[in-house]
Amino acid sequence: MSEPAIAFAQNPIRASLAYATGDGDKYYYETAAPEAEGRNVGSGTAKHDVAIHDAREWPERLTLDVHGFELMSGPLPLIDFLDDACVKRLYYPAMEKLAKQCTGAKRIHIFDHTVRHGNPDVREAIGVKPPARGVHNDYTHWSARKRVRDLLPDEVDDLLGRRFAIVQAWRPIGHRIESDPITIADARTVDESDFVPVPRNAPGRIGETWRALYNPEHRFFYFPYLRPDEAIFFKVYDSATDGRARYTLHTAFELPDPDPHAAPRHSVEMRLFAFY
C-alpha cells in the first residue's frame, strides 16, 4: 500500500459498508437468476461505519491511473438498456470511444454489461439485478488472465505478453442517482493483504473475485447525484506493476438519512479490456 500523495480536510458523509470477515472459512459465490442477488457462502459479513468523501468537492484531480477511478462525461444516443442488441449497437461504440480517452489504451474490447434497479418489484418485472452490496474487487490475478483466455483465445499469447487492464464503467439510466450510489476506494489506500479470494461459480464458467477485509486506511469516494451523461470508470485489474493503480474496492451503499421520495437507483455497468 502506498500513502496518498496529499490529504485534504473535508466533511465526509458516513455509511455502513459490508466487509468480509477473517475467520478462515472458505468463501465462494454462486450466481443466480438475473433478478436475484446470487449467494455468498463463507464466514459472513461484518458492517463497518466508514467516511465517504465527496469526489466532486475533492481538490485533487481523481484519475484512473493514480486513484483507480475517474469521472468521464459526454452525450449518448437514446438507448433502450433492456434491449441487449440496442445496447451493443449504440452504447458499446459510444463507450469504446470514451474508454480510449480515459485509459489511453490502443485497443478497447467491451465484453459485457449488467443493468440494475433498486426497486424489487421493478427488478422482478424486467428481470434485472439489484445493487451489488459488499466491498469487493471483481477480478484477481488468476481470473483476469483467465477472462482474456476465455474471450480472446486466438490472441491470448500476444495479449497476455503486454500490459492490459480490466475496467468497469458505471452510469445511471434515465435519471440522476438519488439512492444506493456506488462508492470506490482510492487505490493508494488498498493493499492485497486486504483481499479474500472468492471462487465465483456460474453456469459454464468458473471465475474468482476478491472480497475485502476491513482496513481503516481505506479512503472511499462517491459522486453525489451522478447524471446519465456521466460515467465513472474504475479499475478492477491492471497487469502493470510500475506503481500505478491496479485495482479498487467498491460497493453500493445506503445514503445517511435517505430521502423517502428518492428515485430508486437504475444503473448500467460495463466491463472492458484495455490493451496497451
Residue 27: per-residue pLDDT = 56
Cβ atoms of residues 259 and 158 within 8 Å: no
Q: What is the pLDDT of residues 118-166, one digit of tens each?
A: 999 999 999 999 999 999 999 999 999 999 999 999 999 999 999 999 9
Q: Is the pLDDT score of 7 beyond 90?
A: no
Residue 25: per-residue pLDDT = 52
Distance CA 185, CA 44 (A): 21
Q: Is the pLDDT score of 40 beyond 90?
A: no
Radius of gyration of the chain (CA): 18
Query: Residue 35: which pLDDT band, with cuts at 50, 70 and 90?
Result: very low
Q: Is the pLDDT score of 6 beyond 70?
A: no
Q: Is the pLDDT score of 26 beyond 60?
A: no
pTM: 0.90
Residue 104: per-residue pLDDT = 98
Cβ contacts of 81 within 8 Å, gap of 6 or more: 87, 91, 115, 173, 268
If we measure between CA atoms, which residue out of 46, 43, 41, 40 comes closest to residue 17?
Answer: 46
Q: What are phi and psi of 96, to 5 degrees?
A: -60, -45
Average pLDDT over residues 187-214: 89
Residue 211: per-residue pLDDT = 93
- Which H helix or E strand runs over 159? helix 156-159
Ramachandran bin of 104, using left for φ above 0, alpha for ψ from -120 to 50, beta for the remaining angles: left
The per-type count for the chain, helices as H runs and strands as E runs, is 6, 15
| Alpha-carbon distances of 217 from 135, 187, 195, rounded to whole Å | 14, 11, 14
Query: Residue 75: which pLDDT band, with cuts at 50, 70 and 90?
Result: confident
Q: Is the pLDDT score of 226 beyond 80?
A: yes
Residue 255: per-residue pLDDT = 96
Cβ atoms of residues 179 and 263 within 8 Å: yes
Residue 216: per-residue pLDDT = 97
3-state DSSP call for residue 227?
A: coil
The residue ranking higher by pLDDT, 43 or 261, is 261
Residue 44: per-residue pLDDT = 72
Residue 222: per-residue pLDDT = 98
Distance CA 127, CA 245 (A): 34
DSSP code string of 172-207: ESSS---SS-EEEE-GGG--GGGEEEEEEEETTEEE
Residue 152: per-residue pLDDT = 98
